[in-house]
Structure 1
């Protein structure tokens, strides 16, 4: 398998060089964090003329480096390697294995000619930890599984076959090196049970692991469906015959988000310009892990495509909400009634905004009108887009809505 270029993340590491902050590379397990830092970034430094002896690399999950899990031993070793006033790049992998790693990293900031980069697994090194422990001294770089463009660049086949495999087995890099479908299935199922689930249960002291595992699977079966802890609690009562309070469910969902297993998209009232704290949507960060939870039984392309689009937008650095357009209309039978129209994604970056609908196919005028209905109700001038898997040429219709082929979007032939 040839090396996959992941320039989006590499460029973030390059941009953060010598900025006085700890560069903290986070993301779901096995998404390529260590490879990007220890292979790609290290190669960049050497290509730019950095002497290899000014790059100090330590992987704490290597038994040979066990002694450096002691913070004082680690700091003394790093200081002993600094021979001059030139910049030394310190690359630390699985840094959560160091005792009091927060103190050790903050101590490194006191050395003027040291530039620090670390990775951490989701078991003890979550985004919430970063916010708490480093308080503005850390620069987080979030790594996602392979985008479809990255996946296709190393896939042996055309984009249509690649899409089929991508929405089935996901974008964890190792998937591309496995030859058979059964190998991929076994890898994903083992990864979830031995790493993700165990990490979450051990880290959080979960006292109801069976119910927690069931909730993860419930979330996997309902991607793209509005829900909240109260609604999920009722689902457990009626379908699982188990009592799980909304408070516990909310806590469990936060754990899953902290572990980068799934992400929450909040509901946004487009006309009222405010967030609605009722129902939200949850999307899985990797489709292969999601499908493995359901034994690869629920492979509905409509929902999977929506999840892939969400992940693509997030991996490009956009903030993504679920839009709602609330209107009142008068009817002869019932007088004034309220109708709610959903917009799949409200996408924000600074002052820019896009409204995006996901449509697997638009075979008729009726279907086009159905997908366009919510967008036509939005009165502002931000771009309104429908992403379609149909093999179409990008075009605007008479309502100013832009129709874009899904692959043109995923393969960067169309840029927001």
Structure 2
């Protein structure tokens, strides 16, 4: 039953409680070590049956869940018959662009250029809302850090379960960087943070010409009076790579905590700029580590 159905059918007689797929610290103990657990989680996500049934074929199970449960529910609920291929293609487009800004107009143009198909941006917006109502996708808005403004005209979309995302594209593109960004997002949501994508404007002067540029912060998160700025990087092995990853954080002049999560296991530390460096698995296993 979709979220809208719950509210309609049980109005006044129930409250809505969101139940999320399992996060990393709920499954890692089932494996020999955390590296093996993370590799499995990146591929197959956190649907409980993947871990409860030891004889299950993960790819087959997740593909079946995606096609026979999630997509079928959407098709039946919204009576989609003629545009099934468009619905499925749209979700694949989003699957291949997790961690990237998009909106219905951009997706409309992609249908025109790649599929030679005309589909209205309103229809695409409706389909995206269907995916969110069915708990396949979740979106986050762009947030102007310096101006303290939210923009709803362009969003990033993430999958509520990364295993379903991989099943959607038949496990063809398992790009760790974007998948881990999705996993971090899901972890933050389950920890009850409000999550946004940060945008940091700055000025440059070249040849007596002033130009406004923007840098991105992967996640701006808030809970009550606490706010954090979080970047993720696969590595910061070189000085150039490190400077690239923390550039946006350095341009934020308030006193809220800035954090860089790296894929490797490292000793948590603060650098000379007050930025906290922590390893990915440390972050996933300890929800209090960002407050050390």
TM-score w.r.t. length of structure 1: 0.67
298, 307, 311: which one pairs with 2:173? 298
Residue 141 of structure 1 and its aligned partner are, at CA, apart by 2.0
**C-alpha deviation, 1:210, in angstroms:** 1.1
Aligned alpha-carbon RMSD (Å): 1.8
Structure 2 equivalent of residue 254 of structure 1: 129
Residue in 2 that maps onto 1:163: 38
Does the 8 Å contact 1:395/1:402 carry over to 2? yes
Whether 1:377 and 2:251 are equivalent positions in the alignment is: yes
Structure 1, unaligned runs of 5 or more = 1-120
In 1, Cα distance between equivalents of 2:159 and 2:269: 31
SS at match of 1:141: coil
**Runs (5+) with no aligned partner, structure 2:** none
CA distance in 2, matches of 1:194, 1:127: 20
User: In structure 2, how many angstroms separate the alpha carbons of the residues matched to 1:127 and 1:272?
Assistant: 34
Q: Distance in 2 between matches of 1:311 and 1:384?
A: 19
Q: Which residue, out of 145, 149, 154, partners 2:21?
A: 145
Distance 1:380 1:206 in 2: 48
**SS of residue matched to 1:328:** strand
CA displacement at 1:367 relative to structure 2:
0.9
Maintained 8 Å contact 1:358/1:387: yes
Corresponding residue for residue 322 of structure 1: 197
- Tell me by how many angstroms 1:279 deviates: 1.9
Structure 1 CA distance for aligned equivalents of residues 204 and 11 of structure 2: 51
**Residue correspondence of structure 1 range 384-399 to structure 2 within 5 A:** 384-399=258-273
Q: Any idea what SS the aligned residue of 1:378 has?
A: coil
Q: 1:365 corresponds to which residue?
A: 239
Is this contact kept in 2: 1:192–1:289, CA < 8 A?
yes
Which residue does 1:134 correspond to in 2?
A: 11
* Residue-pair matches, total: 289
After TM superposition, what 4+ stretches of structure 1 lie above 6 angstroms from structure 2?
none
Inter-partner Cα distance in structure 2 for 1:364 and 1:131: 55
Q: 1:132–1:231: structure 2 CA closer, same or farther, 3 Å change rule?
A: farther
Per the TM alignment, residue 245 of structure 1 is displaced from its structure 2 partner at its CA by 1.1
Whether the 8 Å contact between 2:234 and 2:263 is mirrored in structure 1 is yes
Distance in 2 between residues matched to 1:241 and 1:298, nearest whole Å: 23
CA contact (8 A) 1:178 1:184 kept: no
TM-fit CA distance, 1:177: 3.8
User: TM-score, structure 2 length as denominator?
Assistant: 0.94
Check whether the contact 1:392–1:404 (CA below 8 A) recurs between aligned residues.
yes
Cα-to-partner distance string for 1:262-290 (whole Å, 9 max, x where unaligned): 10010001111001233210000111110
